[in-house]
């Protein structure tokens, strides 16, 4: 019978180690069934599951590996694998795999212990842990620093609802977010990002800023609060608020284009997505004049928003065309996916309000970003503590990857 052995090497990392060790294995015609290598703080951990040819003796190979490991400054362990253990390992080939992404300004031992505790309670096995963010020391204060650890786990969770609830409790206990995705071909091949605009891509609500300019801010707030209590349907409340803007000079409206700041990380995210070839869309209950401003600045592919009517140099108090509400956002998302010939599983939608929920639920990955509590609880994913650029971690992009990109240069729009 052939022999199967697990080899584990550890020690100070330096170039040439893997070549030297696999060279010895080659001399003995060993077949590599599995391999895993990690380097943490310049310390190597290398595992090789090998199978020797039928009739081959393991003792000469063991001696050669021990001698070479000593000369390389490595420690080596040998673990014989039984036929039963090998058969069990092979039977796990098709097991479900999940990706958990832990995001915060820093990731502490207490936070990682709590997250991995939820994983263990569900009977999942952790196969890999990797840092996606750049190197960070707490001793050096870096404003808006990102810290991200990606965990790959496998198995069948006892209850995905219980697991989601457990991860949500951890995220509420610590200043972190935890995203939980099933590993699939779609997860690795997202093609479209769709964003709400107000309080998502930008830090504020355009209609509220217009109301301030028109001197009707208090009245608009009352209508908004009434709509949030369910006393007024969204489209009716929207028309009432727009009606209060009647007579506002167009020149004052245009003033807002340079005054409402982008959300932290928005520019880095969109520039990176464009460089990587993703399609992008703004699906907004706000106004086209601001959405088109962002479209021109960043090269956004699609815009669906409300047309604020103007005549004789002033706002008329009306909107032209159908109002973009929650249902229209979801419909637009489906239209774009069909036009681009992509599956909805390949779509990521991002928003903060209740009217974003239809598109968040339709997309393969719906993310509530700095959202209201109801939206966070209803969406499949929630991000609160970092900027929009942290979404890149959810598609597996590392900081060291983005540092090398020739990012899209935004055009300054007057």
Instruction: State the catalytic residues.
Output: 196, 198
Q: Are strands 74-80 and 3-12 parallel, antiparallel or unpaired?
A: antiparallel
**Burial bucket for residue 57 (CB in 10 Å: 0-12, 13-18, 19+):** exposed
* φ, ψ at 177 (rounded to 5°): -120, 145
Say how far residue 378 (Cα) sits from the centre of its chain. Answer: 17
Of 192, 171, 310, 303, which Cα lies nearest the Cα of 251?
Answer: 310
Neighbours of 203 (CB within 10 A): 14
Going along 117-205, which residue ranges are E strands? Answer: 125-131, 147-154, 176-182, 192-195
Helix ranges (H only) for 98-246 are 109-121, 160-173, 206-214, 217-228, 234-243
Angle at CA 395, nearest 5°, toward 390 and 399? 50
What the block records as the tokens of 71 is: 């000369």
Please give the Cα distance from 241 to 228 (Å, whole number): 14
Of 237, 302, 294, 285, which Cα lies nearest the Cα of 260?
Answer: 294
For the sheet with 279-287, list strands across it. Answer: 314-320, 302-311, 279-287, 192-195, 347-351, 365-369, 381-383
- Provide the 3-class DSSP secondary structure of residue 25: helix
Say how far residue 18 (Cα) sits from the centre of its chain. Answer: 33
**Which residues, including other chains, have CB under 8 Å from residue 133's CB and lie 6 or more apart?**
146, 147, 148, 149, 393, 398, 399
């Amino acid at each position: 019978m052939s022999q199967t052995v697990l080899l584990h090497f550890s020690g100070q990392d330096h170039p040439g180690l893997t070549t030297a060790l696999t060279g010895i294995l080659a001399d003995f015609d060993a077949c590599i069934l599995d391999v895993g290598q990690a380097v943490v703080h310049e310390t190597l951990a290398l595992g090789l599951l090998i199978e020797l040819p039928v009739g081959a003796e393991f003792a000469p190979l063991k001696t050669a590996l021990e001698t070479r490991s000593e000369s390389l400054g490595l420690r080596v362990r040998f673990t014989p694998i039984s036929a039963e253990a090998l058969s069990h390992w092979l039977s796990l080939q098709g097991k479900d795999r999940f990706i958990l992404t832990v995001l915060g300004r820093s990731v502490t031992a207490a936070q990682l212990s709590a997250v991995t505790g939820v994983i263990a309670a569900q009977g999942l096995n952790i196969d890999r842990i990797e840092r996606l963010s750049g190197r960070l020391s707490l001793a050096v204060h870096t404003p808006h620093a990102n810290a991200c650890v990606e965990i790959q786990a496998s198995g069948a969770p006892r209850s995905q609802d219980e697991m989601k609830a457990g991860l949500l409790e951890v995220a509420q206990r610590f200043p972190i977010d935890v995203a939980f995705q099933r590993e699939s071909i779609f997860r690795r091949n997202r093609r479209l990002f769709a964003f709400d605009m107000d309080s998502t891509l930008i830090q504020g609500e355009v209609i509220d800023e217009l109301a301030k300019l028109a001197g009707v801010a208090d009245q608009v707030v009352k209508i908004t609060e009434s709509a949030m209590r369910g006393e007024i349907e969204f489209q009716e409340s929207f028309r009432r608020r727009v009606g209060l803007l009647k007579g506002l000079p167009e020149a004052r409206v245009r003033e807002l284009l340079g005054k409402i700041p982008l959300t932290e990380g928005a520019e880095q995210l969109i520039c990176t997505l464009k460089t990587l070839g993703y399609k992008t869309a703004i699906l907004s209950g706000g106004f086209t004049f601001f959405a088109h401003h962002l479209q021109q600045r960043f090269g956004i592919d699609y815009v669906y928003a409300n047309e604020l009517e103007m005549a004789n140099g002033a706002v008329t108090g009306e909107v032209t065309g159908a109002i973009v509400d929650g249902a229209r956002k979801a419909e637009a998302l489906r239209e774009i996916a069909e036009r681009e010939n992509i599956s909805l599983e390949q779509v990521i939608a991002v928003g903060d309000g209740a009217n974003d929920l239809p598109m968040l639920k339709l997309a393969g990955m719906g993310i509530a970003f700095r959202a209201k509590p109801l939206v966070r609880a209803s969406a499949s994913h929630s991000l609160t503590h970092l900027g929009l650029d942290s979404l890149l971690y959810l598609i597996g992009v590392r900081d060291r990857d983005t540092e090398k990109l020739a990012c899209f240069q935004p055009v300054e729009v007057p």
